Amino acid sequence: MRKYRDEFPEDFLWGGAIAANQAEGAWNVDGKGIDCSNHYRHGFFGEFDPEIIEGEFYPNHEAIDFYHRFAEDLELMKGMNFNCFRTSINWARIFPNGDDAEPNELGLQFYDRLIDKLLECGMQPVITLSHYEIPMNVIRKYGSFRSREVVDMFVRYCEVVFNRYKDKVQYWMTFNEINNMRRESFIPAAGIIYEEGENKAQAMYQAAHNIFVANARAVKRGHEINPDFKIGTMLSLSNVYPNSCRPEDVFGSMQTRRSSLFFGDVMLRGEYPAYVHRIWHEKDVQIEMEEGDLEVIREYTNDYLAFSYYRTTTFKEGISSTADSGGVTGVKNSYLEETPWGWQIDPLGFRYTFNELYDRYQKPLFCVENGMGNDDVVTEDKEIHDDYRIDYLKKHIRAMREAIRDGVDIMGYTWWGPIDIISAGTGEMKKRYGFIYVDRDNEGNGTLERYKKDSFEVYKQIISSNGNNL
Ligand code: BGP
């Protein structure tokens, strides 16, 4: 029987998280294929350019040049005592077109160097296999995960990297924030571009089914390759409260939440939840399944749930919610303050979310994204006094400790964007999350030099004290 736990476990994973497409740059070097993220000038909530326009500025084509500067950057992370670091392998570096006969050796060599450097710095690599980086050819030629062939391509890509890094990487996650695929305009989540007049729910749920099969098959192959692998799934789970005690608000907020948790329900519990059948019935959705699909989904569930949590919002009946990279955007909560980008800060919501998820899944939880985007000011002495970030950080870590005391099994915490990177949602550089400042602006000007912010030392102290110095 588990006993009361007052503190963070000794083997708690502390670190930071980035994504290849928001940091690496080097978008077309060493044999890399073009991936969907390369087609955005103003982030994933801006316009998707079907063709890359010559002469236009695409922020992630160079990003912060992590591709060439990772060694220096990881030394800085080591200076904060990170014992883990989350990044993605960009699928298009390994299989530039998705359907190539052989993997791209130069792409693999880049990740060899990166992973070796992580290990040398004492950090466990935590690898996302698909973080908004689907090769464009997979989208154009196959319609992405609408097609079963893409399931095979994805599993093959996983096998290649699982085999290559089987003795170096233990922590994996398949798809970043895959629940975002339910949003029509959010192409990078699953690579689905809708056709005029088609039944979108049909296309979305079919692609989701194919992704569930891909996820389960990746878990299966991963565990065959190394039984010690921990392979999670990853969802965007900033939370939503009822706006009032009006029953319609309460019921509607549950339904909104379910539209996200649906993905976890299938991948962590191994079954389609009962409520989905009504949705399929009402939206005229018929899922094509192959023999054995349901068995593989049932048998190969994920080892843990990774998730992002930035904020909460509220649901009010009659007012339609929208979304951005932080999750659902409903009606503002009058009890909460917000960041300059309007994301409402809610540490108790973090504790609430941990409890909610553990009650539902009873699997280890890993918060792999939490943080605040801010427009930092650099003084003449190149100092950045980011008290607001320190405050956010401490309050969320305190809330996480309370969740541990509540009995929730939490594996680790990786702050989103420990070094400033390109914003996923807006493509801005100005929306900074880092403890490390990068000298680059929204138009791509700057020296790319790195400076420590005040928060750098604070996070270092927190990690050194295993979450006690708060
Ligand atoms: C999540 C993504 C990240 C990340 C984060 C913050 O949706 O997984 O890639 O960027 O949101 O969003 P933004 O960069 O838009 O502030």
Cα(2) to ligand 1 centroid in Å equals 35
Cα(323) to ligand 1 centroid in Å equals 12
Burial of 420 (0-12, 13-18, 19+ CB in 10 A): buried
* 198 is an active site residue: no
Which ligand 1 atom is the nearest neighbour of the CA of 426? Answer: 15
Residue whose C-alpha is closest to residue 262's, from 252, 248, 274: 274
Indicate the top mutation candidate among 369, 376, 429, 442 to test ligand 1's pocket, ranked by most ligand atoms within 8 A of CB: 369
325 lines ligand 1 (CB under 6 A): yes
**Torsion angles phi and psi, residue 35, rounded to 5:** -110, 170
Cα(26) to ligand 1 centroid in Å equals 20
pLDDT computed for residue 143 by the predictor: 98
pLDDT in tens, 178-187: 999 999 889 9
| Residue that is written with structure tokens 């895959």 in the block | 178
pLDDT computed for residue 253 by the predictor: 97
pLDDT computed for residue 297 by the predictor: 98
Residue 292 has pLDDT above 90, yes or no: yes
Residue 101 has pLDDT above 80, yes or no: yes
Q: How far is CA 379 from CA 420, 428, 442, in A?
A: 17, 21, 19
373 lines ligand 1 (CB under 6 A): yes
423 lines ligand 1 (CB under 6 A): yes
431 lines ligand 1 (CB under 6 A): yes
339 lines ligand 1 (CB under 6 A): no
Type of residue at 101:
A
Strand partners, 40: 48
pLDDT computed for residue 209 by the predictor: 98
Which residue puts its alpha carbon closest to atom 11 of ligand 1?
325
Cα(281) to ligand 1 centroid in Å equals 33
Candidate list 317, 369, 383, 428, residue with the active-site label: 369
Residue 2 has pLDDT above 80, yes or no: no
Average confidence (pLDDT) over 221-227: 98
Residue 305 in contact with residue 363, Cβ under 8 Å? Answer: yes
Cα(383) to ligand 1 centroid in Å equals 25
Average confidence (pLDDT) over 221-236: 98
177 lines ligand 1 (CB under 6 A): yes
Residue 446 has pLDDT above 90, yes or no: yes
Residue 215 in contact with residue 208, Cβ under 8 Å? Answer: no
343 lines ligand 1 (CB under 6 A): no
pLDDT computed for residue 35 by the predictor: 98
Residue 117 has pLDDT above 90, yes or no: yes
pLDDT in tens, 452-468: 999 999 999 999 999 99
Q: What span, in angstroms and rounded, lies between the C-alpha atoms of 280 and 282?
A: 6
Helical packing angle, 347-361 and 247-269, nearest 10°: 50
Which ligand 1 atom is the nearest neighbour of the CA of 325? Answer: 7
Cα(17) to ligand 1 centroid in Å equals 10
Cα(311) to ligand 1 centroid in Å equals 12
pLDDT in tens, 296-341: 999 999 999 999 999 999 999 999 888 999 999 999 999 999 999 9
307 lines ligand 1 (CB under 6 A): no
20 lines ligand 1 (CB under 6 A): no
Which residue puts its alpha carbon closest to atom 14 of ligand 1?
423
**Helical residues (DSSP H) of 342-408, grouped into ranges:** 347-361, 387-405
Q: Output the average pLDDT for the chain.
A: 97
Q: Tokens representing 329? A: 């955007």
* 195 is an active site residue: no
181 lines ligand 1 (CB under 6 A): no
Residue whose C-alpha is closest to residue 306's, from 236, 397, 219, 394: 236
Which ligand 1 atom is the nearest neighbour of the CA of 421? Answer: 14
Residue 356 in contact with residue 307, Cβ under 8 Å? Answer: no
Average confidence (pLDDT) over 243-251: 98
pLDDT computed for residue 1 by the predictor: 77
pLDDT in tens, 337-361: 999 999 999 999 999 999 999 999 9
Which ligand 1 atom is the nearest neighbour of the CA of 423? Answer: 14
pLDDT computed for residue 321 by the predictor: 86
Residue whose C-alpha is closest to residue 314's, from 349, 270, 272: 349
pLDDT band at 189 (very low <50, low <70, confident <90, very high): very high
Cα(50) to ligand 1 centroid in Å equals 22
Q: What share of the chain is helix, strand, coil (3-state, %, to 5)?
A: 40, 15, 45
Residue 83 has pLDDT above 80, yes or no: yes
Q: CB-side exposure of 443: number of CA atoms within 13 Å?
A: 1
Cα(190) to ligand 1 centroid in Å equals 16
pLDDT computed for residue 60 by the predictor: 98
Candidate list 177, 337, 338, 402, residue with the active-site label: 177
Backbone torsion region of residue 230, taken as left when φ is above 0, otherwise alpha when ψ lies between -120 and 50, otherwise beta: beta
Which ligand 1 atom is the nearest neighbour of the CA of 327? Answer: 7
Q: What is the pTM of this model?
A: 0.98
What is the DSSP code string of 279-327? Answer: HHHHTT------TTHHHHHHH---SEEEEE---EEEE-TTS--EEETTE
Indicate the top mutation candidate among 235, 237, 325 to test ligand 1's pocket, ranked by most ligand atoms within 8 A of CB: 325
124 lines ligand 1 (CB under 6 A): no
